Structure 1
Amino acid sequence: MTLRAVVKGVGHYLPERVVPNSEFEASLETTDEWIRARSGIERRHFAAEGETTSDLATHAARAALADAGFEPDDIDAIVVATSTPDLTFPSVATMVQDKLGMTRGFGFDVQAVCAGFIFALTNANALILSGQAKRVLVIGAETFSRIMDWTDRSTCVLFGDGAGAIVLEVAEGDGTTADRGILSADLNSDGRYREMLYVDGGVSTSGTAGKLRMQGNPLFRQAVEKLTSTAETALEKVGLQDSDVDWIVPHQANIRIIQGTAKKMGLSMDHVVVTVQDHGNTSAASIPLALSVGVARGQIKPGDLIVTEAIGGGLAWGAVVLRW
């Protein structure tokens, strides 16, 4: 018998306000065509004034719980991946716990920027396999619109706000790759690359939230190489190959990165869940958003083998292999 962390439910939430590329044309030297050509993004959602990361996360959590058929007190732990928390502390996870009316268990946040959901998912898997929890709510939620420099056309047009969530539950498997649930994970980071993607503020430096800064071209080159490598490493850990994959569910940062990674893995775009055109880069929220949308579209089905991978500031990157 092998214990597995199996996905029981999935859900997402997007703020009401939709911002098309054309909205940036009035304030920036840019066009809809320029943005689409370089990123694949057509629109994104921005949180309303007063709408916080924990609000988005709570909406997504409720959707995932409903999909799983669980109540908040059926959950043992909440793990939230975010780089844009409501406050310096307490954690977004504890705020979600309160907003859900969950009176038991525990919650904490994970910060690995765009790779955050991969790190959160791996932590949740470890909690389940170690016996610390039987059911874990894993959420990625961001309000990146709050840390944009609206004069920088190379960054502010790329990001959006949103949240996605999944519910994991312990189950028994046979110890083979036919088991449902998380089969393997691969995590990495290298602080030497931090200047490629960072925020120029913080509690112990400026005392402000700061604004996002990015070196686009160097980051692009690192992304395709590292995303391919981590995905293939995670597959190799359980004796699987690229050709075994039904769906890649990548971090939705840039369509060219997504296409480049799929090509390196020898998979057509017919095997990739793509949402970047509608959501932009929602950082730690992008993978659970894409998983939820992929299920809603009828793309992802029970038994499918999924590789999900992401890279973010740090640099931090990783991949998870799971059977839906």
Structure 2
Amino acid sequence: MSNIVISGTGLYTPPDAVSNEKLVQSYNAHVDQYNALHADEIEAGNMEAKQPSTVEFIEKASGIKNRYLMEGEGPTDVNRMRPGLSKLADETAMGTPVQVKMALEAAKDALNEAGLTGEDIDLVIISSSLWERFVPSMACELQQILGAGGFAFDMAMGCSSATFGMSTAMDTINSGMANKALVITAEYISPAMNYVERDSHFIFGDAAVAMVLEREEETKSQNAFRINSRKLFTQYSTNIRAAFGARTLVEDHKITDADQRFQQEGRVVFRELLPMVINLVQGHLAEVGKQVSDFKRFWLHQANINMNMFATKKLLNEDPTQDKAPIVLDEYANTAGAGCMIAFHKYKNDFQSGDEGVICSFGASYSIGCMCVEKV
């Protein structure tokens, strides 16, 4: 089996930056409208009044200060409170999805860093939490746009979509079915968000990351990272969920039905998932004969500042620093499967040959992905 490297990474940041202040302003205006409309029912005790939000509440609960959206006007329009069609959207029903366009921009950067072109690629995987289009495959469309050969497919594994996608690409290269893979986690999550729900409307942002994987002996990259080991884990849970899918085509529902949009039981996720993450990482390092002190940096899923601080403190046995476990969710918010690789992309360039780090994703399904990497 060959050593496989991540020879290039890319990041696409959407055009609309939406601050907590802007989001709170529109949400509280919605609360005022809602409470006024239902005043009689609320006074009679038949309905509960909605509670306003604050910037302080959001930052304390999540550590998020900003997020990037493909279309930021709709979620902050009190008369809409959901995204409109993105500025990048095609008018035709079968036009290129926004998600593919996001993936393309991230892919260009990753290919450039790897010193490759689209024609060099013979495996394209779009691995993301949500799909804008199911058929035909978005990865196949990206494959055609890039002029890539071989084959392509879409896959998903919640917040671990990037690590699971890279692991799948590794297996495919080692099997001989592909030589050079492009894995893109394009997270277009804003359409699934419920922007009238106080406890979750601020959590997610849109973003895309791309990773080129190839055999170490073939790489031309000057910034390649060898994947020395990996471990994946899943355990079914509905504590992070979004129910939309094929059933929405036949069920009677309103477009704003909460069941179709993102929901989570945050406290339960914290209590159940984090011990699994800590145990998996510690167990994986023990299996490969490594200790936490062997690693220069931990690039973790960017879920929530409290989750990240808890997990890294348990792993490191000390308060984490930005250098040891960088945080990007303050700027990007939770970007689901893209988060750990945004952190990797932005905080990898100071590594010298032989320096090691850990990429770790965790979240919906439940899913956990852990990769130990080393600068070539």
TM-score (norm 1): 0.90
Give 3-state SS (helix, strand or coil) of 2:216's partner.
strand
**Structure 1 residues 8, 101: CA separation in 2 closer, same or farther (over 3 Å shift)?**
same
* Cα shift at 1:304: 2.5
**Do 2:14 and 2:70's aligned partners in 1 also have CA atoms closer than 8 Å?**
yes
Q: Could you tell me which runs of 5 or more consecutive residues in structure 1 were left unpaired when the two chains were aligned.
A: 174-178
> 1:20-61, CA deviations, whole angstroms, 9 ceiling, x for partnerless residues?
001122224222211111111110100133341111111000
- Residue correspondence of structure 1 range 215-230 to structure 2 within 5 A: 215-230=265-280
Over the residues paired in the alignment, what is the CA RMSD in angstroms?
Answer: 2.0
* Cα shift at 1:202: 1.6
Confirm or deny that 1:292 pairs with 2:345.
yes
Confirm or deny that 1:258 pairs with 2:308.
yes
Q: Could you tell me which runs of 5 or more consecutive residues in structure 2 were left unpaired when the two chains were aligned.
A: 29-51, 72-84, 89-97, 219-223
**Do 2:4 and 2:170's aligned partners in 1 also have CA atoms closer than 8 Å?**
yes
Distance 1:161 1:151 in 2: 18
Distance 2:190 2:368 in 1: 23
> What is the letter of the counterpart of residue 54 of structure 2?
T
Confirm or deny that 1:248 pairs with 2:298.
yes
**Do 1:223 and 1:257's aligned partners in 2 also have CA atoms closer than 8 Å?**
no
Distance 1:117 1:46 in 2: 20
**Do 1:145 and 1:161's aligned partners in 2 also have CA atoms closer than 8 Å?**
yes
Partner of 2:18: 19
**Structure 1 residues 185, 159: CA separation in 2 closer, same or farther (over 3 Å shift)?**
same
* Cα shift at 1:172: 4.9
**Do 1:53 and 1:141's aligned partners in 2 also have CA atoms closer than 8 Å?**
yes
Q: How many residues align?
A: 313
- Residue correspondence of structure 1 range 1-324 to structure 2 within 5 A: 3-26=2-25, 27-28=27-28, 29-48=52-71, 49-50=85-86, 51=88, 52-102=98-148, 104-172=149-217, 181-191=226-236, 193-194=237-238, 196-204=239-247, 207=250, 210-266=260-316, 268-269=320-321, 270-295=323-348, 298-324=349-375
* Cα shift at 1:228: 1.4
**Structure 1 residues 96, 303: CA separation in 2 closer, same or farther (over 3 Å shift)?**
farther
Which has the larger strand fraction? 1
Distance 1:166 1:307 in 2: 16
TM-score (norm 2): 0.78
Q: Which has the larger radius of gyration?
A: 2
Higher relative contact order (CA 8 A, sep 6+): 1
**Do 1:234 and 1:321's aligned partners in 2 also have CA atoms closer than 8 Å?**
no
Which 10-residue stretch deviates more, 114-123 or 303-312? 303-312
* Cα shift at 1:5: 0.8
Distance 2:66 2:230 in 1: 31
